[in-house]
């Protein structure tokens, strides 16, 4: 666990992270060495297994610093939640949350009884059982629960979702949200901008921080201007493809020139 990260996030500190889609320990290690407050390892749109994920988390923790390993899970399935938390994630991000009832079920999956339904067993998160009592005592209040709002219905219910006890933060999934509104990738669309404003306003009214993913400098500025509190300021696949593309273009221009 990383209670300091939980406190900083819920205090709406300006935390910066990066997005990991390439489920290899080296990517997690390099990201943590750069001093990010956290990383988000995506397992919704990737083939990363729980075993591979555990190695990425291990690499993040082994690097110098206090980078918190967060994971976006593919669904709200309590069984999956349990396995990923047991692997050592200090927080989970849940996609496509549309109602307060879904948020309540998510919080229950994150928490041990009597507050929730998470099963208890020795695992990596509790030093394979050596610190199970200590982990059990601190997990319910120390782990981070982030719900993603990615649809029109989620926007409509944003205030109710933010009000659920145990929801620590809301992440706006701009890609799916813009698609839901019929304006995929059009960040200037009136409906999309209005939806972002509505979510930020609803979350902040409940003193809940809002996060987003930015893939370039313009995105960082745009989402900060929108009132976002914490941000993933890039993604491994974008770093790789854009960096390689720029280097290739520079070489070709130099040769042709």
| Domain annotation covers residue 78 | yes
| Domain annotation covers residue 125 | yes
| Domain annotation covers residue 168 | no
Quick one: average pLDDT of 179-198?
98
Q: Which domain holds residue 128?
A: 3-139+211-256
Q: In angstroms, how far apart are the furthest CA atoms of the chain?
A: 70
Question: Following DSSP, what letter does each residue of 129-161 receive, concatenated?
Answer: GTTHHHHHHHHHHHSEEEEEE-SHHHHHTHHHH
Assign 2 a pLDDT band (cuts: 50, 70, 90): confident
| Domain annotation covers residue 161 | no
Count of beta carbons in the 10 Å neighbourhood of residue 6: 21
Assign 36 a pLDDT band (cuts: 50, 70, 90): very high
Q: What is the pLDDT of residue 117?
A: 98
Q: Is the pLDDT of residue 1 over 90?
A: no
| Domain annotation covers residue 176 | no
Q: Which of 45, 204, 217, 250 is catalytic?
A: 45
Average pLDDT score over the chain: 98
What span, in angstroms and rounded, lies between the C-alpha atoms of 242 and 39?
20
Q: What is the pLDDT of residue 3?
A: 86
| Domain annotation covers residue 50 | yes
| Domain annotation covers residue 38 | yes
Q: What is the pLDDT of residue 252?
A: 96
User: Any catalytic annotation for residue 204?
Assistant: no
* Tally of structural domains, the chain: 1
Run of H or E including 58: helix 50-62
Q: Is the pLDDT of residue 257 over 80?
A: no
Domain at 110, CATH number = 3.20.20.60
What span, in angstroms and rounded, lies between the C-alpha atoms of 221 and 197?
15
| Domain annotation covers residue 167 | no
């Amino acid at each position: 666990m990383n209670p300091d990260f939980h406190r900083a996030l819920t205090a709406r500190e300006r935390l910066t992270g990066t997005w990991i889609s390439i489920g290899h320990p080296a990517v997690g290690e390099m990201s943590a060495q750069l001093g990010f407050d956290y990383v988000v390892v995506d397992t919704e749109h990737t083939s990363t297994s729980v075993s591979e994920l555990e190695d990425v988390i291990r690499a993040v923790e082994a690097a110098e610093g206090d980078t918190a390993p967060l994971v976006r899970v593919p669904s709200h399935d309590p069984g999956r939640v349990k396995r990923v938390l047991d692997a050592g994630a200090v927080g989970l991000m849940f996609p496509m949350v549309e109602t307060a009832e879904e948020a309540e079920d998510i919080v229950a999956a994150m928490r041990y009884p009597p507050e929730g339904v998470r099963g208890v067993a020795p695992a990596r998160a509790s030093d394979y059982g050596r610190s199970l009592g200590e982990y059990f005592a601190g997990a319910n209040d120390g782990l981070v629960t982030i719900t993603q709002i990615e649809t029109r219905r989620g926007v409509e219910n944003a205030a109710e979702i933010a009000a659920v006890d145990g929801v620590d933060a809301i992440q706006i999934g701009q890609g799916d949200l813009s698609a839901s509104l019929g304006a995929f990738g059009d960040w200037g669309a009136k409906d999309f901008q209005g939806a972002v404003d509505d979510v930020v306003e609803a979350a902040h009214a409940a003193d809940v921080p809002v996060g987003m993913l930015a893939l370039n400098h313009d995105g960082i500025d745009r989402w900060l201007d929108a009132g976002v509190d914490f941000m993933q300021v890039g993604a491994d696949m974008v770093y790789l493809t854009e960096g390689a593309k720029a280097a290739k273009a520079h070489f070709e221009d130099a040769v042709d020139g």
